[in-house]
Chain A
Amino acid sequence: MKDIFKLFASVGWAGEVLVRSTLHFPSVLWRRRSRAELVTQLYATGIRTLPVVTVVALFTGMILSLQVGLELARFNQEMYLGAAVMLTLIREMAPFSCGLCLAAMVGSAIAAEIGTMKVNDEIDALVIMDISPLRFLAAPRILALVLMAPLISFYCCIIGTVGGGLVGATQLNVDFGQYMSSAMSMAKTKDLFVGLLKALTFGLLIGTISVSEGLGTRLGATGVGKATQRAVIVSFLAILVSGYMITRMWYR
């Protein structure tokens, strides 16, 4: 029973962080200093994650291509390899891979950073100076994730599709031009929209969860470790559940 109350309290706290941080988004864009912080966070979210995201996206596309291609080859339908890989990536795997990378690399860093600030009294110091931690710390970080996640997801889709094409050309005898033509012919605007919507939702959830876990940190270094761990686990679960719900909403 106590755990259920704790769960509801955590969800309520994350909801409060989400709403109050979102209300500060305009001031992040309006204030000169906040814009500078937003640029720093955009760099941390979008540029510093690129090497890992590239490898993850490339191999996701390659694995998809190999698995799907082998099955298609059994029915002499290799010409649809591009479409199958592209549709899977754009609808599901690109935002999913992007979400997992951002949760593991950016969300964990946010939770650890804010958690350390919490146990070092820096958050209390901000409150005493009449500086809202949600405006000063949370809003730029969450907004950066919301803005970058769709871009990273789109980038994942392109890299994954190219990776799939390379596997098709080198191991499945599918011409790269034919593969790309098939890929481009089947993907619709709706698929792109839903994929980007998923990524945006994942960015919002990862940011909110990581900030709320960081701000809820207690009990020193051990608490920071636990908050970071919880931020990643809860973000992964939120990505899975919200990903299913968005798919259900748009592809019934």
Chain B
Amino acid sequence: MVSFDAVTKRFGDAVVLDGLTFSVAKGEVFVVIGPSGTGKSVALKHIVGLLEPDSGTVRTSSDRIGYLFQSGALLAWMTVWDNVALPLVETTRLSDAEIDTKVRAALTAVGLEYDADKYPSEISGGMQKRAGLARSIVRDADIILYDEPTSGLDPVTARSIDRLIFRLNRERGITSVIVTHDLAAALRLADRILLLKDGKAAFCGTPAEFLASTEPNVAEFVSAMKGGTDEKEE
């Protein structure tokens, strides 16, 4: 569905992706974790064609790719309905009635059926992300890329977004590639986890394999996550 083959990307002198190789299977929930600045979001942008690799190849088996940005990336001057309808209005020849039916269905799928007439500034951050998701599924996306889908959200809203991602994957078979710092969410959601370190794949496997791994980079990352939690608890 998605494959990276020895992908290298530099910005100036900084090597952000360094021969990165991995593949994501159809219908899989694939979570990319790692410290900040290791190239997680850069990898996502390669999948959708916003960035081109300096060397190596990125392949996707579908053109219908959705992307949920950290901010939701909704157009501020349009209502939620208009935002979700935008790709259909601009890139298809569907009638107004057909567009309305599809948009209402997408909004219902993410629980925003009663907020269609609101503007992005009138809804919460979690609702903006739901609207961004609706904009992806209204195009019948085969693959959805999530860039830090729960960052900046309270734990309850973050869990509801996690559940929504899981439901879309299981009910619609949408292949999901998720970039996150949230190790707990990664372990809950992922079919497989990729740990990025310095632009390279330090580990790739199931959550069970991740927890059982003796790979030093995995241990370091898990320890850092636990350390952060412990410090807060103390």
Check if B90 sits within 8 Å of A131, measured CB to CB: yes
Determine if B87 is an interface residue (Cβ-Cβ < 8 Å). yes
CA–CA, A121 and B48, complex, Å: 14
Q: A120-B73, A124-B69, A128-B65 are in contact. Are A136 and B90 (CB under 8 A)?
A: yes
Check if A128 sits within 8 Å of B67, measured CB to CB: yes
Check if B73 sits within 8 Å of A125, measured CB to CB: yes
* Residue numbers in B under 8 Å from A122 (CB-CB): 73-76
Determine if B60 is an interface residue (Cβ-Cβ < 8 Å). no
Give A113-160 interface residues, CB cut-off 8 Å to B: 117, 120-122, 124-125, 127-131, 136
A125's partner among B69, B76, B89, B90 (CB-CB below 8 A) is B69
Check if B69 sits within 8 Å of A121, measured CB to CB: yes
Determine if B187 is an interface residue (Cβ-Cβ < 8 Å). no
Check if B67 sits within 8 Å of A125, measured CB to CB: yes
Check if A129 sits within 8 Å of B73, measured CB to CB: no
Check if B139 sits within 8 Å of A129, measured CB to CB: yes
Determine if B157 is an interface residue (Cβ-Cβ < 8 Å). no
* Residue numbers in A under 8 Å from B70 (CB-CB): 121
Check if A129 sits within 8 Å of B86, measured CB to CB: yes
B113-147 contact mask (Cβ, 8 Å, vs A): 1 or 0:
00000000000000000001001000100000000
Which secondary structure dominates where chain A touches chain B?
A: helix
Check if B73 sits within 8 Å of A121, measured CB to CB: yes
**Minimum CB–CB distance for B198 against chain A, Å:** 24
* Residue numbers in B under 8 Å from A130 (CB-CB): 87, 90-91
Check if B90 sits within 8 Å of A129, measured CB to CB: yes
Determine if B50 is an interface residue (Cβ-Cβ < 8 Å). yes
Determine if A33 is an interface residue (Cβ-Cβ < 8 Å). yes
**Minimum CB–CB distance for A218 against chain B, Å:** 12
CA–CA, A127 and B66, complex, Å: 11
**Minimum CB–CB distance for B129 against chain A, Å:** 12
Q: Which residue of A lies closest to B67 (CB)?
A: A128
CA–CA, A120 and B67, complex, Å: 14
* Residue numbers in B under 8 Å from A128 (CB-CB): 48, 50, 65-67
CA–CA, A224 and B65, complex, Å: 29
* Residue numbers in A under 8 Å from B48 (CB-CB): 128
**Minimum CB–CB distance for B49 against chain A, Å:** 8
CA–CA, A136 and B86, complex, Å: 11
Check if B71 sits within 8 Å of A120, measured CB to CB: yes
Give B29-68 interface residues, CB cut-off 8 Å to A: 45, 48, 50, 65-67
**Minimum CB–CB distance for A161 against chain B, Å:** 38
Q: Which residue of A lies closest to B91 (CB)?
A: A130
Q: Which residue of A lies closest to B74 (CB)?
A: A122
Check if A129 sits within 8 Å of B50, measured CB to CB: no
**Minimum CB–CB distance for B89 against chain A, Å:** 6
**Minimum CB–CB distance for B100 against chain A, Å:** 15
* Residue numbers in A under 8 Å from B91 (CB-CB): 129-131
* Residue numbers in B under 8 Å from A129 (CB-CB): 86-87, 90-91, 135, 139
CA–CA, A121 and B87, complex, Å: 16
**Minimum CB–CB distance for B46 against chain A, Å:** 13
A59-71 contact mask (Cβ, 8 Å, vs B): 1 or 0:
0000000000000
* Residue numbers in A under 8 Å from B76 (CB-CB): 122
CA–CA, A155 and B39, complex, Å: 55
Give A87-110 interface residues, CB cut-off 8 Å to B: none
CA–CA, A187 and B74, complex, Å: 51
* Residue numbers in B under 8 Å from A121 (CB-CB): 69-71, 73
Q: A122-B76, A129-B86, A129-B91 are in contact. List 9 more A-B contacts (CB 8 A).
A: A120-B71, A120-B73, A121-B69, A121-B70, A121-B73, A124-B67, A127-B50, A130-B87, A130-B90
* Cross-chain pairs A/B with CB under 8 angstroms, 19 sampled: A33-B90, A120-B73, A121-B69, A121-B70, A121-B71, A122-B73, A122-B76, A124-B45, A124-B73, A125-B132, A128-B48, A128-B66, A128-B67, A129-B87, A129-B90, A129-B135, A131-B90, A131-B91, A136-B90
Closest 7 pairs between A and B when the two form their complex, measured CB to CB: A125-B73, A129-B87, A121-B73, A121-B69, A131-B90, A128-B67, A122-B73
- Residues of A whose CB lies within 8 Å of any CB of B are 33, 117, 120-122, 124-125, 127-131, 136
